[in-house]
Amino acid sequence: MQSKNFIKIRLAFEDKKKPYFLDVSSLFYDFELLHDFSLLLYAEEYYNYRFSQYFWYRRGRPLKDEHRLRALKIIKESPLTVELILSTVAVSSGAIWVIVQAIEKISNWKLNKEKLKLEVENLRLEKRIRYYNEQKVRIEMENKFKERECWTIFTSLLKRFETNSIKLKSLDLTLERIDDENTT
């Protein structure tokens, strides 16, 4: 049996005893969209993808199966907790940075942003995200948005998260191992 490394993202949301199912399903779909957006923007194999209204469709984002976001655990208790598996291409391509930046920009989500930044630094293996590098990455990200003509999609995603009644309380990123036979 062979093992692989993967990135686990654990999201815990504010207590809401009986959220509307539409809010829960929208929240999950919006995370899927944010993940796919970041890969389409940063992973080289998707460079020719053109952002359009089809991005919002269920099958409008042609990701390889091994790059798709996977659910590891969903716990509907207090608080609602979701554990997702990110492909290593999300980290190696820099796509994780778009996800982190989006989460930081959502104005009504109160997170320990310093802790989140440290976790991203550890995942990048070298602690190279300092002020200069952060600014450089942010500028590169904005330039990539302009080059790929997808700024409106990014801002629309942020608005969707902000208008959802379920708010993120904490986020943890960890490097994990998984057996190949359990990945399907």
Cα 115 from Cα 7, distance rounded (Å): 16
**Tens-digit pLDDT profile for residues 9-27:** 999 998 777 888 999 999 9
How high is the pLDDT of residue 133?
64
**Tens-digit pLDDT profile for residues 127-174:** 444 555 666 777 787 788 888 889 899 999 999 999 999 999 888 888
Cα 135 from Cα 1, distance rounded (Å): 42
**Tens-digit pLDDT profile for residues 28-50:** 999 999 999 999 998 989 999 99
Whether 55 and 153 have beta carbons less than 8 Å apart is answered as yes
Q: Specify the pTM.
A: 0.76
**Tens-digit pLDDT profile for residues 106-132:** 866 766 666 666 677 666 654 444 555
